[in-house]
Structure 1
Amino acid sequence: MKITELLSPRKIAIIGASADRRRAGNIILRNLKEYYDVYPVNPLRDEIEGLKCYRSINEIEDEIDWAIVSLSAEKSMDAMKSCVEKGVKLAIIIAGGFGEVGKKKEQEELKKIAGDKCRIMGPNTVGMLLPHNNLNTLFIPGIKFLDGNIAFLAQSGSIGVILMEEMAKEGLGLSLFAGLGNRIDVNENEFLDFLEKDEKTEVISLYLESFSDAWKFFRKCREISAKKPVILLKAGNNKKSSRAI
């Protein structure tokens, strides 16, 4: 299933939901619970933020569109297996500790588990934001953003958040923000397919450290730029910056 078909979820499970309001699994839950059917998953809790808590995603009777996995890298593996068993369409894997720290074998194993049954965003991602749909899976508390017409794709979550808040200071709003993370599945090229046709997006901006498929990326940008501007900030263009990322 293409990402263009996945951006209107209704039922979202949070695997690793937490009662601690400082933790990602609680921040994301509170971001979403007023607007979506949210299902906290935590075997140690009966209830979180007034919502029934499930011991596993497979205990949820309803079909689940998205699962946000707020667990360690090791535990994310088992969570991914559960997502596949449940028939989840998209899993957003927050944890780092995969390819970005040299653990490419674990990253490939995560991708193998998902196969063609479940799409993956991440791992090592800050999540996704669609302000006009009140869809905010970012785990950064108090982040400032505005609704608007600029889409922003960022391979680095920290850089993405900094630039997002700077945009808000300048009165620039977002139609979509996506932290791409390690891009073991969903990548910038798929988002470009969606953003090309998205009526809410008038400008596309990207921060990338590398390309999933450079030839496809630049071909797509040429097509889109005839309709709307595409702005790319590419890191790693010299030896020092390349080593830093």
Structure 2
Amino acid sequence: MPSYDFKVGHKYTRADVYRVCGVPLAKQKGEWHTGYRVYEGRHFIFCNIGGAGRTGDDHGNYFINEDLLWHGKAKSHIGQKSIINLTAADSEVFVFYRSNDRDPFTFAGLGKPETVRNTQPVEVLWSFTNIEESVRLPEEVSEQETFTEGAVKTITINAYERDPEARQKCVDHYGYVCVVCSFEFEKIYGELGKNFIHVHHLKPLGEIGKAYEVDPVKDLRPVCPNCHAMLHRKKTALSIEELKKHLKNK
């Protein structure tokens, strides 16, 4: 069974999903537009958050912290085969959501059913156990120059370009020291760690979805991989200041 390389927090149209999954034209649309479906043994959920979808129905889906409270189709119940399979412990469930019915979907992650309520429609609380594993931690990242970043390349998914020159401008300005915890690789690892650092976008490229002008000094910051992972620990990335405060409190 092929693996599907979706990235948590990145945006995808249904056409993007078809490309990633290799769905042939004859099998596109149809059930893909009904809210949830199975393809090659995997389950896919497409839902609206905080409003009605294109059919005009508002199923009352919303996030509770990092979990998603989701409702099935109007007549769904826990005895339906589709719901039984969807909520089975070994099912692989790809969950996508959006708040506007004309927008692309955001990939929430692989869903795990925490609770399934015997209501009609069925109500499921999904948690996402793979968030920290699936978030891409890019090694993107002076003069007040600007560079165009984020232009979409169509490969099998939409990948966001990162300008290496912008990255270099960032570290030329701030140095190879983590702005959160002050870790410096060269001091600990010597020559092996020289000139190594991750660079963090203050506004994640996956949330922008189009090309934009990035200022290497204003928009980028050097961070160590540990702090970079913690900045992206939640769906909405923490700010540098929030993570610094968290470290100070601990």
* TM-score, normalising length: structure 1: 0.31
Larger of the two Rg values belongs to structure: 2
* TM-score, normalising length: structure 2: 0.30
